[in-house]
Structure 1
């Protein structure tokens, strides 16, 4: 009987600890007084079990309900202006209740219990970012994702997926993560011409396709695949970062011609035995060979630096930077993206504003110093009430208030007056 009472008390305490969505609390957190002035709601980690009471927030654009105990996506039909929805780290099993969110651009559903995409994403035609990693997916059918033509980022990693269809319809895709699944063949991605980053690590691939038709591919991850060769990938003329750790590759000679723009090459824990298997990569700066037989040699970094003159970092350690600075041509400047470019006029404007602020600050400081000097001059110089003998016999020390005043005044005369002249 006592055990039942204790169990009941524990359940009651648990339920009491769980919270619901409260309008007043949302207004307090957002610092608003009216519901229609709230554009963003952050209820991360509030132990919420159910989505409710959001209907009055008609202008809601971003909703964060991550790290809660939500099991069902519901009551969002009136949040039609929502652009970002974070529901990761909950207990969701089904993708539903999103049909009215036609403007949604970002959907985060990672770390849930979703076993199938189904028709839950059918109407999200403006979706650009989708995360479904760390769920329970076993396959992805074409009809489940074919409507997501605006998608640029797709993460399906860390599921149990053995088959993915429909990726060829995602022609705007830039980043694709299929790592740590059960794939035995690479899905058809040759039509995804905008792909810049691909992760296929940790699958059960029996072969690699020709990816030479992807002109923008910059980063490729093929780790933990038991590969002995990557020749079938073709000529990857734009590839800059190649991750091949934990494979069975013995010879990397062909990689320099296969990937002429390679800057980072991670070949940790392969089977490279000597530096003779390394080619002279023209632009390679970061090289990782930890766990290879050749890395057992005491001076392996120096040997690699001689074999690959362009390299600057070997297993994270800098090598021969001074010599390279003298012999290497200046680095090729990469074009800046639209988000990082600052025009010359903007820079000039910022410098002018900074100069003005410094001038005003200097004027203010001069004024304050004048006031300080005037205050020192107005201080009384009358000696403290004591006998003349005492005054002449006692030495002037820094603990004397009059001595401190005189020292401060002398300091001000020496420094402040000179600055003004």
Structure 2
């Protein structure tokens, strides 16, 4: 078992730093720490790294998020491709802006109700039991409502987006390879996502719906790219004109 501790970090730092500073002095100077792909199983006590802002722990064997209570200055946390099953012990990360948790075993997005500065959440490709999907705790969604601008939830068996409509400042959504089917459900969310610039829904059943792209382009005036393909203004204007003329033709019939 490899445990992340101050001693492990000190050995890593010592290879690059030959000064006569004490262990505490060296650790307090660290702002960025890369311990990815080090076979780490457990996050132990490394609270001497009080000024840590960016922590890379991806591609390890970590099962639990813990011992980060000291890290109130941390802004970026990279934990993708571990064995994490729950989003525990994140409430002390008051200044966290970017959280990477892709490729773990998380079934519920939770534990973020006290972290209201997160701008990016990457939680794609969770290794879930057959038939299960990634779900969202409403308390965490409310906390993320104003801060979150980038969300990656690809490949998580998700079949609806309506509950994510509270994310009012979302500008970039990646939700590819899920089970989205309902245009009506999507349109409810799009009505709220007035700042959405880029969206990727490739690999979802909804992409096969008639006029799928046309309907989204018309409904989302700020959208610049859909499924990796740029939306040109001439395309949007043509569709808007077509929609207006169709509505005009329908009015006499309604009278």
Q: TM-score, normalised by structure 1?
A: 0.47
1:212 aligns with 2:218: yes
Query: 1:174, CA displacement in angstroms?
Result: 1.0
What SS is found at the alignment partner of 2:191? coil
Deviations 1:94-133 (A, max 9, x none): 0111000010001000011111113x11112000111000
Greater relative contact order (CA < 8 Å, ≥ 6 in sequence): 2
Could you list the structure 1 runs, at least 4 aligned residues long, displaced by more than 6 angstroms after superposition.
none
Counterpart in 2 of 1:101?
93
Taking structure 1 as reference, are residues 222 and 59 closer, same or farther at Cα in structure 2, changes over 3 Å only? closer
Deviations 1:249-287 (A, max 9, x none): xxxxx8882289xxxxxxxxxxxxxxxxxxxxxxxxxxx
In structure 2, distance between residues paired with 1:222 and 1:58: 40
- Contact preservation (8 Å) 1:143, 1:166: no
Determine which structure has the larger strand proportion and give its number. 2
What SS is found at the alignment partner of 2:42? coil
- Contact preservation (8 Å) 1:155, 1:178: yes
- Contact preservation (8 Å) 1:20, 1:50: yes
Counterpart in 1 of 2:141?
145
Taking structure 1 as reference, are residues 29 and 112 closer, same or farther at Cα in structure 2, changes over 3 Å only? farther
- Cα RMSD of the aligned pairs, angstroms, is 2.7
What SS is found at the alignment partner of 1:50? strand
Unaligned runs of 5+ in 2: 242-255
Taking structure 1 as reference, are residues 155 and 47 closer, same or farther at Cα in structure 2, changes over 3 Å only? same
In structure 2, distance between residues paired with 1:121 and 1:152: 15
Unaligned runs of 5+ in 1: 1-14, 224-237, 242-253, 261-421
Query: 1:23, CA displacement in angstroms?
Result: 3.4
What SS is found at the alignment partner of 1:98? coil
Taking structure 1 as reference, are residues 75 and 19 closer, same or farther at Cα in structure 2, changes over 3 Å only? closer
User: Would you say how many aligned residue pairs link Structure 1 and Structure 2?
Assistant: 217
Counterpart in 2 of 1:126?
117
> Which residue of 3, 9, 13 maps to 1:27?
13
Taking structure 1 as reference, are residues 64 and 29 closer, same or farther at Cα in structure 2, changes over 3 Å only? farther
What SS is found at the alignment partner of 1:25? helix
Taking structure 1 as reference, are residues 57 and 30 closer, same or farther at Cα in structure 2, changes over 3 Å only? farther
Structure 1, 135-144 or 125-134: larger mean CA deviation: 135-144
Counterpart in 2 of 1:198?
199
Query: 1:211, CA displacement in angstroms?
Result: 4.8
